């Protein structure tokens, strides 16, 4: 009986330690969110209605919008293009859109209210994700799991390297944008030096299947796995561990200090936030409407999340 009481007491402590939260704010966008980045007070979202929209976190109002023309699909029907990836540095934006031709993409630059095209379907680039290293350079993640550094001024790739034979899934930059972690269909995560493309570390052994999303903060990498494992790696040592979800884990995010990590944890699209060092569950965020595709920590106690719908959610881990 004494042992049973002790076990029940421990279970009670665990349940008490996990705080359930609902969104503090919701921002309704035009279309379903495909990518999301945060800069200062602004959330920039790419949508499936051919728009990049920038919303103020404080006022929840639309502050900036860039629109792209419709395209023809493979059947010849007119459809909206997707803004599937985007980033911004120093007032300059880069955006990736579907071309509707051969699986190739368009890459655009927007600055001073003017949009120019950097790449078109004629360049035959099967790029999946883009992020800016600085104002003049973009890191590309190719479908074939290649990394390339693109110079905006010359419109040329400074390098292009094959990282693994498996199909690309996602990549994330570290805080100072000197390194990038690339996830792929095999579950292996490859960390590279951004300026040279040289492989720094190969992280493996945790995810045994596709790593849908990765994040990279303060020397730690997290991976959202198809095998229902949320991976957590220390890049310096190459060692990792995981938390177990009850469904495919589609998204992940690390706090700026990497002391907290978040994963889409179940079929209800709930987000679980863990203490990275102990893997103890701190918060369960409930209210996401559909499959998650972005979890971003604004600071240690504020999260922005987006899913395949028209609502971006803001979560406050510390309640007033």
Percentage of the chain surpassing pLDDT 70? Answer: 94
In 112-235, DSSP assigns E strands to 114-119, 127-134, 137-142, 146-151, 156-162, 168-173, 179-184, 189-193, 199-203, 211-217, 220-225, 229-234
Residue 247 CA neighbour count, 13 Å, CB half: 14
pLDDT of residue 320: 57
Per-residue confidence at 12, pLDDT binned at 50, 70, 90?
Answer: very low
Give the pLDDT confidence of 183-235 residue by residue, as tens digits: 999 999 999 999 999 999 999 999 999 999 999 999 999 999 999 999 999 99
**pLDDT for 2 beyond 50:** no
Per DSSP, the three-state class of 215 is strand
Per-residue confidence at 38, pLDDT binned at 50, 70, 90?
Answer: very high
Q: What's the first-to-final CA gap in the chain, in angstroms?
A: 41
pLDDT of residue 319: 67
pLDDT of residue 76: 80
Burial class (CB in 10 A: 0-12, 13-18, 19+), 28: exposed
pLDDT of residue 100: 84
Domain boundaries, the chain: 21-316
pLDDT of residue 241: 97
**pLDDT for 263 beyond 70:** yes
Indicate the pTM of the whole model. 0.92
What architecture does CATH give domain 21-316?
Answer: 7 Propeller (2.130)
Give the pLDDT confidence of 77-134 residue by residue, as tens digits: 898 999 999 999 999 999 999 988 888 999 999 999 999 999 999 999 999 999 999 9
Mean pLDDT of 29-49: 96
């Amino acid at each position: 009986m004494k042992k049973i009481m002790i076990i029940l007491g421990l279970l009670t402590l665990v349940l008490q330690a996990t705080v359930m939260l609902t969104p503090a704010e919701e921002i309704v966008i035009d279309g379903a969110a495909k990518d999301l980045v945060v800069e200062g007070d602004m959330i920039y979202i790419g949508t499936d209605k051919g728009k990049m929209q920038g919303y103020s976190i404080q006022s929840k109002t639309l502050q900036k919008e860039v629109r792209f023309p419709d395209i023809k699909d493979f059947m010849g029907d007119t459809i909206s293009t997707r803004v599937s990836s985007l980033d911004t540095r120093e007032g300059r934006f880069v955006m990736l859109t579907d071309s509707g031709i051969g699986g190739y993409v368009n890459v655009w630059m927007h600055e001073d209210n003017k949009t120019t095209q950097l790449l078109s379907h004629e360049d035959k680039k099967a790029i999946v994700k883009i992020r800016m290293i600085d104002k003049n350079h973009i890191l590309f993640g190719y479908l074939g799991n290649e990394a390339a550094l693109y110079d905006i001024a010359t419109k040329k790739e400074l390098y292009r390297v094959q990282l693994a034979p498996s199909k690309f899934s996602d990549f994330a930059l570290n805080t100072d944008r000197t390194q990038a972690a690339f996830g792929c269909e095999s579950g292996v995560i490859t960390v590279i030096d951004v300026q040279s493309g040289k492989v720094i570390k190969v992280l493996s052994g945790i995810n045994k299947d596709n790593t849908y999303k990765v994040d990279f903060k303060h020397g730690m990498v997290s991976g959202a796995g198809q095998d229902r494992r949320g991976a957590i790696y220390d890049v310096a040592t190459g060692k990792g561990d995981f938390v177990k979800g009850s469904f495919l884990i589609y998204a992940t995010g690390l706090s700026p200090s990497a002391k907290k990590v978040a994963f889409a944890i179940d079929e209800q699209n709930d987000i679980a936030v863990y203490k990275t060092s102990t893997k103890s569950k701190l918060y369960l965020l409930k209210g996401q409407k559909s499959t998650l595709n972005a979890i971003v920590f604004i600071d240690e106690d504020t999260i922005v999340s987006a899913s395949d719908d028209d609502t971006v959610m803001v979560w406050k881990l510390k309640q007033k």
